[in-house]
Amino acid sequence: MLTVDFTRFPLAAGDRVLDLGCGAGRHAFECYRRGARVVALDRNGEEIREVARWFAAMKEAGEAPDGATATAMEGDALNLPFPDESFDVVIISEVMEHIHDDKGVLAEMVRVLRPGGRIAVTVPRYGPEKVCWALSDAYHEVEGGHIRIYKADELLGRIREAGLKPYGSHHAHALHAPYWWLKCAMGVDNDRALPVRAYHKLLVWDIMKKPFATKAAEQLLNPVIGKSFVAYATKPRQVAAGVE
């Protein structure tokens, strides 16, 4: 299940891609399939080891084209172990709401992104996330949990302050918002509640089968209750008269 829309965020074979806070690796895997040279970085060593295993399995299965590379590594988003301008593309998906120093993270992303490079940032959307917080303290009052809720204009302002130029945004995963409302209402750790189990089965079926009906429904509902807000931006190239 991808949050970044690669029709709005073009990726070329050979692009150097950093998936920052990669988690289970969903965006890193897609970039690898598209022929990129991918680095998937996360602070969670267990997840990184699993991502590395999947990269190896993808290579063995021939899922990545010739020239594509993939590396999984542990690292700190506030102190990235890469030289300046190392990447053509940086993706940070559902991460910034966890980090106190979000400006510091953006500054590091800008540092390692080449001029003219592209960045995709996704966070939980303000409205659906407020409902989750209202329904359950346990949803956000946990170690490593969500510490803030972004309004779209606030996130775009942070991106501009970091020196990037936003060029597009959208909402995603409308069908997942009710699932999380149910989880919060029934208990975030209560996966046995019948409504939660039933809705989870629906989501798995939708991901696996990709039926037209649910795809159309989600497209209609995304502007209203899309669970994630997605923003795209570029790093300006420096020119003689200033910044492009």
**Lookup result for tokens 């989880």:** 183
Q: How confident is the model at residue 180 (pLDDT cuts 50, 70, 90)?
A: very high
Q: What is the pLDDT of residues 137-146, one digit of tens each?
A: 988 887 778 9
Calpha distance 220→234 (Å, rounded): 28
Burial of 224 (0-12, 13-18, 19+ CB in 10 A): exposed
Phi/psi at 140 (5° precision): -125, -20
Task: Please name the residues in contact with 115: beta carbons below 8 A apart, sequence gap of 6 or more.
Answer: 85, 235, 236, 237, 238
Q: How confident is the model at residue 132 (pLDDT cuts 50, 70, 90)?
A: very high
pTM beyond cutoff 0.85:
yes
Instruction: Give residue 240's pLDDT.
Output: 38
Confidence check: pLDDT of 193 > 50: yes
Using alpha carbons, select from 148, 76, 78, 86 the residue that is nearest to residue 115.
86
Q: What is the mean predicted confidence (pLDDT) over 96-107? A: 96
Task: Please name the residues in contact with 79: beta carbons below 8 A apart, sequence gap of 6 or more.
Answer: 108
